[in-house]
A and B are shown apart, each in its own frame.
Chain A
Amino acid sequence: EAGVTQFPSHSVIEKGQTVTLRCDPISGHDNLYWYRRVMGKEIKFLLHFVKESKQDESGMPNNRFLAERTGGTYSTLKVQPAELEDSGVYFCASSQDHPVRDTQYFGPGTRLTVL
């Protein structure tokens, strides 16, 4: 069974540009999460989808971030326009059934560098 995949693995962009990160969860997992780790800090929750609906987006830093989950399958996280402080590693995770008891499986992350 394929794990959680993320694309791209690395992205380097200029301040003010737009970047779109993609996450493909494990097949059949209704729950999809985005997290971010800024250098030297802890991994922080951004938002949670249940199928195509946003269940909790309390961690989204501002309106420059837009997350979507088309048809309850893959998800994209768009940053527009990107700022220097958006640099970090963006992780996606997915889980099935009970959103707490079931394990969140993480992807390898996308390392975003904003210059």
Chain B
Amino acid sequence: AQSVTQLDSQVPVFEEAPVELRCNYSSSVSVYLFWYVQYPNQGLQLLLKYLSGSTLVKGINGFEAEFNKSQTSFHLRKPSVHISDTAEYFCAVTRRQAGTALIFGKGTTLSVSS
């Protein structure tokens, strides 16, 4: 079975500061990794995904994430956040071989203030 742990439930930061949202996963099989974002009153939107290849993945809106197999982590980073980045962020995994269900973490609320 797979599980995802998002280590921070809330992350408050000031505008233009860097941010890192942490995600660790557990799985006995190889997985694909995802970050989704949910802005207020909207559905989940894919930020980025890791399938294979380079461990540094770049996504939309200036976000990037690094897959670390030895530490089973997939932390999300942005060097300079904006007020508009305020949202809830979800890390998710899915098995590679079979099954398609996304397994989500509990989410991290990023609050950006001026």
Residues of A within 8 A of B (CB): 3-4, 31, 33, 35, 40-45, 48, 55-56, 58-59, 91, 93, 99-101, 103-109
Binding site for A on B (CB under 8 A): 4, 32, 36, 41-46, 49, 51, 90, 94-96, 99-107
Residues B44 and A100 in contact, CB atoms below 8 Å apart: no
Contact indicator B43/A42 (Cβ below 8 Å):
no
Which residues in B have their C-beta under 8 angstroms from that of A91? 43-44
User: Across the interface, which residues of B come within 8 angstroms of A45, CB to CB?
Assistant: 101-103
The answer to whether A108 and B43 touch across the interface, beta carbons within 8 angstroms, is: yes
Is there an interface contact between A109 and B101, defined as CB atoms closer than 8 Å?
A: no
The answer to whether A56 and B100 touch across the interface, beta carbons within 8 angstroms, is: yes
Task: List 9 A-B residue pairs with CB atoms under 8 Å apart, sorted by A's residue number.
Answer: A33-B101, A35-B102, A42-B106, A43-B107, A45-B101, A45-B103, A100-B95, A100-B100, A103-B49
A44→B32 CA distance, assembly (Å): 17
